[in-house]
Amino acid sequence: MTLKWLAIVIATVSMTLCVTGNVVTLAVNGGQLPLLVNLLAITTAGTAVVLAVVAELHDRLDNRVSALTEFLVARLREIEERTGDRNTGFVEGYLLNHGQEAAIVPFGRRGRGAAER
């Protein structure tokens, strides 16, 4: 049972016991349950309701984040399929355009040797 439904059951049972206890006490003695018992039941029910609402909001937020993640992954895959690897074509075209004349110039030495020159 999920947290939300467990909290709803606890709130329902707590309020049912509180109302039933007060009705029975009223019918038998003409009074009501002690204030501490009533406050405990109402506090338990209130806390359970707040917990159920927070659990529902967390579940909705989790579903939205999951949907957004799936959308972004699908969109990124679509962009990747559409664009392909254009840099490879650019480099190959550049090398074919310049043929053998394109010289590769190595970088100079780094460190002290480069500063002394």
Domain ranges for the chain: 3-98
The reported pTM is 0.61
In this structure, the number of other CB atoms found within 10 A of the CB of residue 51 comes to 17
User: H-type helices in 1-117, by residue range?
Assistant: 3-28, 35-83, 86-98, 112-116
Q: Which two tokens stand for residue 94?
A: 């550049």
CA 104 to chain centre: 50
Q: What is the pLDDT along the chain (117 residues), one digit of tens a residue?
A: 689 999 999 999 999 999 999 999 999 988 888 999 999 999 999 999 999 999 999 999 999 999 999 999 999 988 887 776 655 556 666 666 666 555 566 666 666 655 554
